[in-house]
A and B are shown apart, each in its own frame.
Chain A
Amino acid sequence: MSWSKLPSRTQRTALLLLVLVAALLLQACAPAATAPDDGQEAAVPAGPVVNTLGKELPADAAPLDQQVLVYPYNGWRTFTTIDFFQAVYERADSLTDLLSDALVRLDKDFQVNPGAATEWSVDESGLVWTFKLDPNLMWNDGTPVTADDYVATFRYGADPEHAWDFSWYYQGVIRNWTQAVAGEVPVEEIGVRAVDAQTLEFTTEAPAPFLPAMLVYSATFQKAALEAHGGLYNSNPETSVSAGPYQLVEWTKDQRLVYAINPDYKGTNVPYIERIVVVNIGQPSQLMPAYEANEIDFVNGGGTLSPADLEIIGADPDLNAQYHPHYGDFRTYYFAFDTSQPPFDNLLVRQAFAHVLDRETILANVVKRQGMAAYSFLMPGFPAANSSAHQETYAFNVEGAQQLLAEAGYPNGEGFPKLTLKLRAEGPTPLAVAQAYAAALKESLGIEVEVNNMDFKAFMDELNAKPTGVQFTLISYGMDYLDPSNMLGVFLSGGRHPWSNAEYDSLVRDASSFTGDPAERVQMFQEAETILVNDAAFVFAYHQTPGDLIKPYLKGPALEPDANGVAAWHWPGFSSFSNLLSGVYISNEVSNYRQAPD
């Protein structure tokens, strides 16, 4: 048993308050921390170790009984399913979608690679796509994976009876999807069709060059199981069936799930890791303690690590080395106004608001390493991102803001209504950003702002009401697939916000279905984004750069630096949507941290 690091001075002070004597004793008796030595022991020469699927483990890999990934899930979230097509928002940040292959999967550079589909092509109209399935794929009940399985899965997604929470995703893309969801046409008429057992055909409403990227969310159900047991068949190991790299062997509700490698897996995303234990971690505040106690191998930092956690990580060289910042899902936090009503129907008011956001100070002192300043919507690194072009549009300028507000008819904020800045059940960092901005609005513009961090569903209900009940908010959006059509689509008329701009709409729609020169397409998106920024209906605050905690014994090609030099647990994480799944193993350093989990 190894002693962990001595607590920092502040920690000790705090501990003192709880148990004075115990903390003092601890401080006196704790031996110096023993840093785990980085694989200093000479590797024992032996024959290559091979796992259940015949994959050879690297020389420094731990023995097979230690090839177990222990991953946390958020016990506070609703957790009913491990299947994307069942309910996207009821998967509790868990490890899911491991029981079949998606048609395509992403590599660490977010490039689209073959998955269950070995190749695909589009016809001359740009509307009809043909995907060839890997003929080797088998369900572990001995039946083959066919195009019928995928067709049944997509029909299930469009089925009004199922009322899928992600049905918006394929709306306006796959032909007749919208009409099927509305119950106007039978689901048999959606543009997904089996040409033969191994050939799947998609028909789109308009040309959709991004379709392959979009189809990362296409892990399939087994048609037979879906028909026999319904969409929750994978929630019970008895009825679960797998054609993916893993199979479900245990699901103890509110405690843990266990996956084992699927010995019958015939696909190409072959993992090293033999078993996965997904443990309920209660609430996000307990992630860090569990990680420090070596009970979990990984912490997803996207909005879960608290400011105190980050401070502790930053102060500890070992933990700091285990902290891996990355782009996450290219998420941007932005302030939004109800532009359909006074006072925010006035461009001058919005511009005044835009000028008082002091990004530099807020980033340096509040957001810290969790983000980078945002002047526009698309984060640097995302296709068509154009951040540097917008840095001066609404630079921090209090005097200019005061002038604009006076021009708008509210000198020194006189006559301006009191505002409530509503948040969607946000964590401490966005909450602090909102508070800082609210204080700045009062100090610089004389506008009273209350901050209300609301219950998630109540917020969404108010936001989506017509007319919207949310006048002023700080909210975020992150990508679903790596194309500007996805990110910029959120601002289309009739979407999330009341803002509406015909020129923006047509630019985004045209660019989305544009099949010509990619550079031209990027330019169209950038023009649209310029309209978005200039109209100041949204004040972009920061791009989230989450950092994950990864134990040093997790290694593998997927965790090596990507094309931009970022070594991280890349989005969309350990699932059949990504080849991260086949690129991670447990090194023999693990013995310094934990024993093989049961």
Chain B
Amino acid sequence: MARYLFGRLAGIVIVFWIVSVVIFLLMHAIPGGPYNEDKVPLTAEAKANYLRKYGLDRPLVEQYLLYMGNVLRGDFGVPFQSPTESVAGLIARTWPVSASLGLAALLVALPAGLLLGILAAARQNSWVDYLASATATLGLTVPNFVVAVWLVLLLAVQLKWLPTGGWGEWYHYIMPVTALALAPLALTARYTRTSILEVVRSDYVRTARSKGLSDRQILLRHTLRNAMIPLLTILAPQIPNLITGTIFIESIFRVPGLGKFFVSSILGRDYPMIMALLLLVAVLWSLVYLITDLLYTLVDPRVRLEGKKS
């Protein structure tokens, strides 16, 4: 176990390094720079001045080494978009906002999706099943920003029950959480249904049934647990997505989270921010996968971590 964990953690370091190189090269390959050009092109001198100010005139290798050196010392630089704070400070300020929203959405989506999926599987091909399928399809095909726009028009503009957006009060959660939860809810429902049906037909459930266990016992003790595996695999990647924020949802509801920076840092060629966000997500994601793999062994003891050849 310790060896396994060590191997995985070493893997995270490798991932961190590869991602940093690839992203560094990619982002510097995008046309344009952090300087602003609008009405009239900047003169060559003015542009050169700008690049020099941020050290962007140096060779890429030098810039990379300098940056990584700083990162290893814990200094992620200053975001071009918000030069009065540090990148780390900005992330520390905005990430908890996104994370709380994402967690709230998960807390809504998971139980509701499970319930819907179980209902659909239990009453396969009944109207419950069809309704659940329709809901799931809707959740996956209607983009969440469209849902968000309509929520605002209905609840804020027409009914005036809620403000159109903002942050700081409990009621500011209602609309963004609803819009955010829809897709993972649909995903959960869909995979739960499929997995349960799958497991129900498998040998060991048949064995269990032949041993005289009741349907409920089978559902709880065998089916659900086994159905968790593909669900975990599919839902796990949703988690970093959700807790790092969603651009459209946050910008529609004026949530001061991390989400918009994933796009605005690319649009603004905010190199320190692009790097920090990607490295942050890289580490976060690697950890989520590590935990997912550990969870596999809990829900399905047949999975062995070491993956030894037999």
Contact = CB atoms under 8 A, between A and B. Distances in A.
Interface of A: 1, 3-4, 7, 11, 15, 18-19, 22-23, 26, 75-76, 78-80, 87-90, 160-165, 167-168, 171, 178, 181-183, 232, 235-236, 252-255, 279-283, 285-286, 289-290, 292-293, 295, 455-458, 460-464, 477, 480, 490, 495-496
Contacts of A78: 80-81, 264, 268
Interface stretch (B25-33, B214-222, B283-291): B25-33
B162 to A, nearest CB: 9
A285 B36 contact: no
Contact of A286 (B35, B84, B252, B256): B252
B46 A1 contact: no
Nearest to B248: A283
- Does more than half of chain B's interface fall in helix, strand or loop, or is it mixed? loop
Contacts of B251: 75-76, 282-283, 286
Contacts of A15: 150, 153-154, 158
A7 B150 CA distance: 13
Nearest to A283: B251
A460 B252 CA distance: 27
Contacts of B238: none
Given A75-B254, A78-B268, A462-B31, A293 B45 contact: no
B3 interface: no
Q: Interface size for chain B: under 10, 10 to 19, 20 to 34, or 35 or more residues?
A: 35 or more
A59 B228 CA distance: 70
Given A168-B46, A182-B45, 10 more contacts: A76-B260, A78-B81, A87-B36, A167-B42, A235-B84, A285-B149, A292-B157, A295-B164, A461-B37, A464-B37
Given A89-B36, A181-B43, A457-B267, A80 B150 contact: no
A285 B149 CA distance: 9
Interface in B28-87: 30-33, 35-43, 45-46, 49-50, 52-53, 80-85
A464 B80 CA distance: 22
A36 to B, nearest CB: 15
Given A76-B260, A163-B53, A181-B45, A295 B31 contact: no
Nearest to A232: B84
B143 interface: no
B53 A161 contact: yes
Contact of A90 (B36, B42, B149): B36
Interface in B207-256: 250-254, 256
B174 to A, nearest CB: 15
Given A89-B38, A480-B39, A254 B94 contact: yes
Nearest to A463: B41
Contact of B49 (A23, A75, A181): A181
Interface in B266-290: 267-269
Contact of B41 (A79, A455, A495): A495
A80 B31 contact: no
A283 B150 contact: no
B154 A4 contact: no
